[in-house]
């Protein structure tokens, strides 16, 4: 058995990724997230797939909580083989009105937490000569959209971090890749749909077709299963030479 730690895995994309890892029955999973029913969610996956789990409510804004999550996981499972930095938040505003505290929170949660966690798992992966680090970036790690300055900066930042860690990890069979999804229908996006409908005074269906999916050639939300299956591939033993990449799964958005 290997062990995978997935941040923000009690909702949306993280939960979808956790399900794909659980399906393989080859991983213990450390769940994390701020959802108050996080333990229940983790327990239900453990029961459904017959795997061992741990749940940690560690807050990405608190480095000491992140380090404790890693040491608790090491104590329970012996090592962490796969780290998936997925927890993230969004805030949409013109730069002139962008609240300082939202900027700082987005950079801390979407980018800096990945640094703290990579640092915390590094020694174990290096000693084991095996590690897989997967950062859930975004299509916004490769291109920009207006009114998302902090988010786009954090996601471009994590793509750069991914490349550096790939270089530093190569001698130790630690690979590091970023997955760059287009729009995925999760609570994070559902909130944006509702906000935009209010701002533009149009129905939510029009927000989806005319604003959200306008940049994707494939006019469909990206399924979480696709992201989970890609993450399982990147975590596999055979994926050593896939490293330092930022893989778009965005319905052709970045092809334009």
Under the rule (CB under 6 A), what is the footprint of ligand NAD?
8, 10-14, 33-35, 59-61, 86-89, 109-110, 136, 138, 181, 183-184, 186-189
Residue 17's H or E segment, with its range, is helix 12-24
In the chain, % helix, strand, coil (3-state, to 5) comes to 55, 15, 30
Neighbours of 133 (CB within 10 A): 28
Residue 175, both tokens: 């690979």
Our CB check for ligand NAD shows the closer of 150 and 166 to be 150
Instruction: Tell me which residue of 54, 109, 63, 119 sits closest to 87, measured CA to CA.
Output: 109
Our CB check for ligand NAD shows the closer of 130 and 251 to be 251
Angstrom distances, CA of residue 182 to CA of 115, 136, 138, 209, 250: 23, 11, 6, 14, 4
Q: How far is the CB of 111 from ligand NAD (least distance, A)?
A: 10
Q: How far is the CB of 34 from ligand NAD (least distance, A)?
A: 4
Chain-centre distance of CA 126, in angstroms?
22
SS3 234: helix
Q: How far is the CB of 13 from ligand NAD (least distance, A)?
A: 4
Please answer whether residues 2 and 26 qualify as being in contact, where contact means their C-beta atoms are separated by less than 8 angstroms.
yes
183 is catalytic: no
Q: How far is the CB of 126 from ligand NAD (least distance, A)?
A: 26
Our CB check for ligand NAD shows the closer of 143 and 188 to be 188
Our CB check for ligand NAD shows the closer of 12 and 228 to be 12
| Active-site annotation holder among 27, 116, 151, 183 | 151
Residue 97, both tokens: 């009105």
Our CB check for ligand NAD shows the closer of 126 and 185 to be 185
* DSSP conformational letter for 195: H
First to last CA, the chain: 41
Q: How far is the CB of 174 from ligand NAD (least distance, A)?
A: 21
Annotated catalytic sites, by residue?
151
């Amino acid at each position: 058995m290997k062990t995978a730690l997935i941040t923000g895995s009690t909702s949306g994309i993280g939960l979808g990724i956790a399900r794909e890892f659980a399906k393989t029955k080859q991983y213990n999973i450390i769940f994390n997230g701020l959802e108050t029913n996080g333990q229940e969610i983790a327990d239900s996956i453990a029961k459904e797939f017959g795997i061992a789990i741990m749940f940690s409510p560690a807050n990405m804004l608190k480095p000491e909580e992140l380090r404790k999550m890693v040491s608790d996981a090491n104590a329970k499972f012996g090592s962490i083989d796969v780290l998936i930095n997925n927890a993230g938040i969004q805030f949409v505003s013109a730069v002139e009105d962008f609240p300082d505290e939202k900027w700082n929170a987005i950079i801390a949660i979407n980018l800096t937490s990945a640094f703290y966690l990579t640092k915390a798992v590094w020694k174990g992966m290096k000693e084991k000569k095996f590690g897989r680090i997967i950062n859930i970036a975004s299509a916004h790690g490769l291109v920009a959209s207006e009114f998302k300055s902090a988010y786009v900066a954090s996601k471009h930042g994590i793509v750069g971090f991914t490349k550096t860690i790939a270089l530093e990890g190569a001698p130790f069979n630690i690979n590091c890749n970023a997955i760059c999804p287009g729009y995925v229908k999760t609570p994070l996006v559902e909130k944006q749909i509702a906000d935009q409908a209010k701002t533009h005074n149009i129905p939510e269906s029009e927000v989806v077709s005319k604003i959200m999916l306008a940049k994707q050639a494939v006019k469909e939300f990206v399924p979480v299963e696709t992201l989970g299956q890609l993450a399982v591939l990147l975590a596999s033993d055979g994926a050593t030479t896939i490293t330092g990449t930022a893989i778009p799964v965005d319905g052709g958005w970045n092809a334009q």
